Amino acid sequence: MKLFGKLRRNRKAVTTVESVIIVVLIIAIILSAGTLYYVSTVTRQLAELSTGISKLSDSVSKLSGDLATVSTTVEDIREILGRPPTTPPTPTPPPTPKYKETLIIGTTDSVEKTIDPAQAYDWFGWHILQQIALTLVEVEPGSEAGPEDYFPALATDWSVSADLKTWTFNLRKGVKFEDGREVTAEDVKYSIDRAIALIPEIPEGAPAGLGYDLVIDSVEVSDTYQVKFHLKIPFAAFLGFMGCRSSAIVNRDYAPIKEIEYTEGDVRASTPVGFLGPYKLTMWVRIAGRDTEMRLEANPNYWNAAVYPKTKNIVYKFYADPTALRLAIEAGDIDIAFRHLRSADVIDLTKNPNLKVWWGVGAAIQYMIFQEKIEPFGDARVRRALAAALDRPTLTSTVFLGLTEPLYSIIPKGMLGHTEAFKELGDANYELTRNLLAELGYNEDNKLQVELWYESSGHYPMSAEQAVVYKDSFEKSGVITVTIKSADWASYKLNRDNEIMPVYVYGWYPDYVDPDNYAFLYWAAWLHHNYENPDIVVLYDQARAITDPTERARLYAEIDKIAVRDSPVVPLWQGVAYAVTKPDVEGLVLDITQDMRYWLVYAEIPA
């Protein structure tokens, strides 16, 4: 009341300051009103969440069922490789529908270092290379990336010698670099030679990691449009190698034998690939080591430019974390959200009528490792006991809401060689756990002490939540106590190498789609878990040197059996791929390659 009296007396003094306060109060009221409104509408929707989750797990299990029934009968590969593969039917130009000119992609990824095929080894670097560069062969979108699913890209046909050591590729004619020069076998030789030559200088690159120098002996230009690869070992999965982004063709006029790094403001100088792919890179802005903007534009020099890309321009926008990405797609700021979204967010978005959720095959896996140098984990019985105590279905439903699948072999479902071997040890098989541990003197009064480590800086999704569930599963056996420890990625890797973590969890995604790229994880030296078994390695080397899929599957099954017996590494789960888009977006393919081919994607403009 005093206030009002003052107001009346000093009219002039009232205006500015008082009005600001009124504005502040109004904002506060809007805030509270808005919160209440939002909370009320959303709580209603949430009541349906549990039914949504169960519906989702149903569709996911249906999906895996479909994958499992995929035909395992495959023709003799040598025969296929010997004769030229069926060329894809020349597409009759479809009636030009109206497609949106630009699509905006939101992601939390970032190019790790460069988009130089001799260096790039991260998912996003490879992703960009796939849009702008060309390799000899490509995997047919939507296929299982089996040996017969490789399609001509720069190469039109190919053949292999009987000993699997000499591979010959015939090249497409008339493919031009950006500067107008035609691509010939010389360029292919230069690209691969360069990748191998740079291995000492770029030890962290893909050619080094994949072992180009261990596989390829020499590259021969047998004709202007024909190139021959002479290998050091018989290697059945060589097509996979040639489909890798590290085998992309570079323009030697812009690619000296030196790593090509990001150059601010000059896209041309930031990559050596001469833009042979469906797109060319027109803008790349990197601030403080993270991408902030990338733009792709249709490449007129692409050999299949008549058909692809369907969308002329692609713009990438980079978000700091999955929550920010979810908010962006929900707000309609972007057309496509891909990598990464949390499970709860994806399930929510399936209920959103303004968005479309796409599902696909996952090839990312996680597995648990036991450090055999630390007792008692050197004893296989302890490892098997812990493996038996794991409860994968609870884990996948609790932490990932059904968006991952329990995995019972180090080779994921959908790939040749996958088995359900670890089912032998079971899930939450506490009786087996107790029996095995009793043999070593562990019981309710003398519990096995386990130190479980997880990575804490977000390198793996939901790693902390997973650790909590694993601890719970182990302790439910009644004879195990678990202490959870964490380290950020840098320390985690160091701890791994210093072999101080008794039990730890690791992840893997494929370089190329072949069981060869997975099976070795059981004994991989760089995991530092000190498991050695010469028999298992013999089986592995045999499997990579033959092409008969039935025989290979048998060998990988043998490997799995040994793995179950020794349990050096225990597979945990396999991811499911997903993307969220606006309803008018079409053409997304989420197959086992884990690639996202934006040249297939389009949004129709309503007539």
Partner 1 sequence: MGLRSYIVARVLLTIPMIMLLLSIVFLVVRVLPGDPVLLHFEKRATPEAMDAMRQKLGLDKPLPLQYFEYLAGLLRGDLGKSMQDFSSVGQQIFSAFPATLELTIYSMAVAVTLGILLGVRASRSYNSPLDHSIRAFGIIMYAIPIFFLGMIFQIIFGIGLRWFPTGLRMHPAMEPPYGLNLGSLHISTGLYTVDSLLEGNIFKFLQALRYLFLPSLTLGLVLCGVFIRLTRSNMLETLGLDFVTAARARGLKERAVVYGYAFRNAFLPVLTMMGLQFAVLLGGAILTETTFSWPGLGRYIVDRINFRDYTAIQGAVVFFGLLVALVSLVVDILYAYLDPRIRL
Partner 2 sequence: METRRTILASLLPALASLTKRGLAGWITVIGSGMVISIVLMTLLAPWISPYDPSAINVGPRFSPPNGQFPLGTNHLGQDMLSRVFSGGSIMLQVAALSAAVCLVIGVPIGLLASYAGGKLDKVCSLVMDSIYAFPALVLAIAIAAILGTGVVNMALAIAVVYVPSYFRIVRSQVLTIKELLYTEAARAAGAKGRTILLRYILPNVVPSIVVVATVNFADAILTAAGLTFVGLGVAKDIPDWGWDLTDGRALLPSGAWWVITFPGLMIVLLALGFTLIGEGLSELLNPRLEQ
Select from partner 2, partner 1, none the partner in contact with residue 253, using the beta carbon and a kind-dependent cut-off of 5 to 8 Å. none
Are the C-beta atoms of residues 434 and 477 closer than 8 Å to each other? yes
For partner 2, the binding residues in 444-473 under the rule CB under 8 A are 454, 456-458, 464-465, 467-469, 471-472
For partner 2, the binding residues in 296-355 under the rule CB under 8 A are 322-323, 326-327, 330, 342, 344-345, 348
Instruction: Give the residue, chosen from 334, 399, 501, 600, that forms a contact with partner 1 under the rule CB under 8 A.
Output: 334
Q: Determine if the peptide bond prior to 272 is cis (ω within 30°).
A: no
For partner 1, the binding residues in 500-559 under the rule CB under 8 A are 508, 511, 524-526
Select from partner 2, partner 1, none the partner in contact with residue 533, using the beta carbon and a kind-dependent cut-off of 5 to 8 Å. none
Q: Angle of helix 380-389 relative to helix 463-476, nearest 10 degrees?
A: 110
Nearer to partner 2, 54 or 550 (CB): 54
Q: Is 487 in the site for partner 2 (CB under 8 A)?
A: yes
Instruction: Give the residue, chosen from 20, 29, 68, 70, that forms a contact with partner 1 under the rule CB under 8 A.
Output: 20
Q: What letter does residue 555 receive in the DSSP assignment?
A: H
Q: Is 586 in the site for partner 2 (CB under 8 A)?
A: no
Q: Is 74 in the site for partner 2 (CB under 8 A)?
A: no
Cα–Cα dist 332/50, whole Å: 26
Instruction: Give the residue, chosen from 67, 104, 440, 484, that forms a contact with partner 2 under the rule CB under 8 A.
Output: 484
Cα–Cα dist 578/308, whole Å: 23
Select from partner 2, partner 1, none the partner in contact with residue 83, using the beta carbon and a kind-dependent cut-off of 5 to 8 Å. none
Phi/psi at 139 (nearest 5 deg)? -90, 135
| Integer CA distances (angstroms), 193 to 216, 250, 333, 420, in order | 10, 11, 44, 41
What residue has token string 């025969």? 79
Are the C-beta atoms of residues 604 and 354 closer than 8 Å to each other? no
Instruction: Give the residue, chosen from 13, 68, 269, 438, that forms a contact with partner 1 under the rule CB under 8 A.
Output: 13
**Pairs from 4-8 (Cβ < 8 Å, separation ≥ 24):** none
Are the C-beta atoms of residues 511 and 503 closer than 8 Å to each other? no
Total residues interacting with partner 1, rule: CB under 8 A: 71
Q: Is 403 in the site for partner 2 (CB under 8 A)?
A: no
Q: Is 1 in the site for partner 1 (CB under 8 A)?
A: no
Question: CB of residue 445 vs partner 2: minimum separation in angstroms?
Answer: 22
Q: Is 203 in the site for partner 1 (CB under 8 A)?
A: yes
| Integer CA distances (angstroms), 316 to 59, 107, 279, 335, in order | 30, 7, 13, 10
Phi/psi at 415 (nearest 5 deg)? -115, 150
Nearer to partner 1, 245 or 384 (CB): 245
Of 87-95, 101-109, 436-444, 576-584: span binding partner 1 (CB under 8 A)? 101-109
Instruction: Give the residue, chosen from 150, 275, 318, 540, that forms a contact with partner 1 under the rule CB under 8 A.
Output: 318
**Pairs from 75-80 (Cβ < 8 Å, separation ≥ 24):** 75/148, 76/547, 76/548, 77/147, 77/148, 77/236, 77/547, 77/548, 77/549, 78/160, 78/162, 78/547, 80/147, 80/148
Report the interface residues with partner 2, using CB under 8 A. Answer: 39, 42-43, 45-47, 49-50, 322-323, 326-327, 330, 342, 344-345, 348, 394, 398-399, 454, 456-458, 464-465, 467-469, 471-472, 484-488, 491
